[in-house]
């Protein structure tokens, strides 16, 4: 480790910046069919002008059905605060305790909301020195327990989720329901606009998210997790989802080859 660094991709040939709906669709489509055992090779195989890292990030933080959108509940915030107190900036570990939340999201929430809030609080606490510190032995013990449970959970998760051969379907968590439109709801996808077709923002269509909501994650996870293969039911659901996506993107009614070409040509090139 730590020896030199090979560039993860040819930077001159990859697109950067916000993802277009067409790219999203292409990535979802590909991961759904082939899983994501090799992120580096994925962009080429999927016909995306992105680097593997970018694809991975986009999937994990935004496109994965695991991702829970919307405001953090006070319980979630408290969990973050507690865990951060214990383990510091271990965002992925914290995320593993908050189903549906990504490390990036938690990091953002911490930096933009929680940190400031706590700073304010501690400022006011400084004025009130009698405030008991959380470093009492009992709370320390409590934190150690939390830390241990995080480690246990991390091990469990790594054993059950995301095996190298895992399919898209197996990424559905057992209990997490995709709730993209709760609270602020829909992801704020920034849609580059040098092409009319790719302009349609996904989040603008309530039906789309309602449809996603209507999909039963368990249906995806249970069978395929057990068998390692997609069942017919899964495929039908996946197809429905994809068809809907294509519809939303204005890509339906076009034969596949034309569609593929269209997506590639509508992907704006690296904007300066």
Partner DNA sequence: AATCTCTTCAACCGCTACCAT
Partner DNA sequence: GATGGTAGCGGTTGAAGAGAT
Does residue 89 belong to the site contacting DNA (CB under 7 A)? yes
Query: Which CB contacts under 8 angstroms, 24+ apart, belong to 171-177?
Result: 171/64, 171/65, 171/66, 172/65, 172/66, 172/217, 172/218, 172/220, 172/221, 173/66, 173/99, 173/100, 173/217, 173/221, 174/218, 174/221, 175/99, 176/66, 176/68, 176/99, 176/100, 176/217, 177/213, 177/217
Does residue 269 belong to the site contacting DNA (CB under 7 A)? no
Does residue 188 belong to the site contacting DNA (CB under 7 A)? yes
- The correct pick among 33, 34, 49, 109 for binding DNA (CB under 7 A) is 109
Q: CB 59 → DNA: shortest distance, Å?
A: 9
Contact 63, 186 (CB under 8 A): no
Does residue 6 belong to the site contacting DNA (CB under 7 A)? yes
- The correct pick among 1, 128, 132, 137 for binding DNA (CB under 7 A) is 1
Q: Among residues 39 and 220, whose Cβ is nearest to DNA?
A: 39
| DSSP, residue by residue, 15-27 | --SSPPHHHHHHH
User: Among residue numbers 25 through 54, which ones bind DNA (CB under 7 A)?
Assistant: 37-41, 50-54
- The correct pick among 4, 132, 196, 253 for binding DNA (CB under 7 A) is 4
The four Cα atoms 51, 188, 72, 101 give a dihedral, to 10 degrees, of -20
Looking up tokens 């659901």 gives: 237
Site string for DNA, 191-220 (x = CB under 7 A): ------------------------------
Identify the H or E element spanning 263.
Answer: helix 256-266
Q: CB 36 → DNA: shortest distance, Å?
A: 7
Q: Among residues 96 and 237, whose Cβ is nearest to DNA?
A: 96
Question: How many residues sit close enough to DNA to count as binding (CB under 7 A)?
Answer: 49
Binding residues for DNA, per CB under 7 A? 1-6, 8, 11, 15-19, 37-41, 50-54, 56-58, 61-62, 89-93, 103-105, 107-109, 111-113, 116, 162, 184, 187-190
């Amino acid at each position: 480790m730590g020896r030199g660094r090979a560039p993860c991709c040819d930077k001159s040939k990859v697109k950067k910046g916000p993802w277009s709906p067409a790219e999203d669709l292409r990535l979802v489509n590909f991961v759904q069919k082939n899983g994501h055992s090799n992120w580096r090779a994925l962009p080429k195989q999927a016909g995306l002008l992105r680097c593997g890292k970018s694809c991975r990030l986009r999937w994990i933080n935004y496109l994965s059905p695991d991702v829970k959108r919307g405001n953090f509940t006070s319980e979630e915030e408290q969990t973050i605060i507690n865990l951060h107190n214990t383990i510091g900036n271990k965002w992925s570990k914290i995320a593993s305790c908050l189903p549906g939340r990504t490390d990036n999201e938690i990091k953002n929430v911490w930096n933009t909301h929680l940190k400031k809030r706590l700073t304010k609080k501690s400022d006011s606490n400084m004025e009130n020195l009698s405030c008991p510190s959380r470093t009492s032995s009992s709370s320390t013990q409590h934190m150690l327990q939390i830390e241990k449970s995080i480690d246990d959970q991390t091990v469990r998760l790594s054993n059950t989720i995301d095996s190298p051969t895992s399919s898209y379907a197996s990424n559905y968590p057992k209990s997490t329901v995709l709730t993209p439109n709760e609270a602020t709801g829909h992801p704020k996808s920034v849609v580059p606009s040098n092409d009319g077709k790719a302009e349609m923002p996904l989040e603008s269509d309530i039906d789309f998210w309602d449809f996603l909501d209507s999909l039963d994650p368990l249906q995806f996870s249970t069978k395929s997790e057990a068998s390692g293969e997609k069942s017919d039911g899964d495929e039908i659901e996946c197809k429905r989802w994809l068809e809907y996506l294509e519809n939303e993107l204005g890509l339906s009614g076009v034969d596949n080859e034309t569609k593929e070409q269209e997506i590639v040509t509508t992907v704006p090139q690296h904007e300066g």
